[in-house]
């Protein structure tokens, strides 16, 4: 694997990089590989890891994943002349050989997009997903070539040809987190019809056990803002409504419904 082929771009928030799943499971093996670390924490807690190979950027205003992925792609194109960016978050646990498998597949079967199979910690399907007007649902799928129109990868682990990334206009920075991948891959689908599911399984951690209603509501506010900026061909109004009702029932608080009506329905 050459250093001018793949550029990992990691988004991190309020966590020590060396304690993150992405570092411990995968990137700890590649200290001499160029990596972009984009830190959305209020203070630059990971600046200590900056090095000639670890390119550190700090955004105290928290630009979400989209600003970080765009920054990484821009840096790769202007400073490193890499061919592919590999997008990561801090929470996903990968097989230690994932980058080698990517390099092998690129050399053997050149595509614009590669992605792993991603499961939940309990083994449920997480990525790729099938998006419909009624749901966003993870699909169990075998490695191989799949249509991008039907199956979309999520951000983490996605390996994208840098030229195609730029031609698609990068990520929409108005969408900081939720729906960012669906928006991006739908635009990329205008020029890319298929992609490769790599024979590698990753595991995604979720914060579904959060019980603090204030934290849930603050997270919900960003969810609604992101949804309001998603203008893809898929209608997501029912998905947003179902999520709102689920949080209302879970917390027994009406502020989720009230916020949904005022900021999403009558925005």
| Token couple for 64 | 């979400």
DSSP symbol at 80: I
* pLDDT tens-place string over residues 86-145: 999 999 999 999 999 999 999 998 999 999 999 988 889 888 998 776 777 889 999 999
**Cβ contact 144:194 at 8 Å:** no
| pLDDT score, position 244 | 94
**Per-residue pLDDT, 207:** 52
Res 115: pLDDT: 97
Share of the chain above pLDDT 90, in %: 79
What span, in angstroms and rounded, lies between the C-alpha atoms of 58 and 71?
11
When pLDDT is averaged across residues 42-67 and rounded to a whole number, the result is 96
Read off the tokens for 23: 């570092």
Please, are residues 213 and 253 in contact by the beta-carbon 8 Å criterion? yes
Name the pairing type of β-strands 194-204 and 113-120.
parallel
Q: What is the dihedral of CA 194, 25, 28, 106, to 10 degrees?
A: -20
In the prediction, which pLDDT does 130 show? Answer: 86
Among residues 251, 55, 229, the alpha carbon closest in space to that of 240 is found at: 229
Whole-structure pTM value:
0.92
Per the prediction, the chain carries an average pLDDT of 92
Say which residue, 209 or 175, is predicted with more confidence: 175
Which pLDDT score, from 0 to 100, does residue 2 have? 58
Query: Is the pLDDT confidence value at 69 over 80?
Result: yes
Higher pLDDT, 182 or 160: 160
How much is the pLDDT for 4? 77
* pLDDT (0 to 100) of residue 233: 65
pLDDT at 38: 98
pLDDT average, residue stretch 34-49: 97
């Amino acid at each position: 694997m050459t250093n001018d082929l793949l550029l990992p771009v990691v988004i991190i928030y309020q966590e020590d990089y060396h304690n993150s799943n992405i570092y411990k499971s995968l990137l700890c093996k590649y200290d001499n590989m160029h990596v972009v670390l984009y830190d959305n924490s209020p203070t630059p807690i990971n600046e200590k890891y900056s090095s000639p190979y670890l390119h550190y950027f700090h955004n105290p205003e928290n630009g979400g994943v989209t600003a970080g992925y765009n920054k990484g792609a821009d840096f790769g194109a202007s400073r490193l002349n890499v061919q592919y960016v590999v997008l990561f978050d801090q929470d996903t646990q990968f097989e230690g050989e994932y980058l080698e498998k990517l390099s092998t597949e690129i050399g053997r079967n050149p595509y614009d997009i590669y992605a792993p199979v991603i499961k939940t910690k309990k083994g449920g399907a997480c990525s790729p997903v099938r998006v419909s007007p009624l749901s966003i649902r993870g699909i169990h799928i075998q490695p191989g070539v799949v249509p991008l129109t039907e199956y979309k990868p999520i951000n983490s682990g996605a390996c994208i040809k840098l030229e195609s990334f730029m031609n698609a206009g990068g990520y929409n920075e108005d969408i900081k987190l939720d729906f960012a991948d669906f928006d991006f891959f739908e635009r990329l689908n205008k020029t890319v019809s298929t992609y490769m599911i790599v024979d590698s399984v990753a595991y995604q951690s979720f914060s579904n056990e959060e019980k603090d209603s204030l934290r849930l509501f603050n997270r919900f506010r960003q969810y609604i803002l992101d949804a309001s900026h998603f203008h893809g061909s898929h209608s997501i109004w029912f998905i947003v409504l179902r999520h709102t009702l689920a949080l209302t029932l879970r917390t027994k608080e009406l502020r989720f419904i009230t916020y949904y009506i005022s900021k999403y329905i009558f925005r």
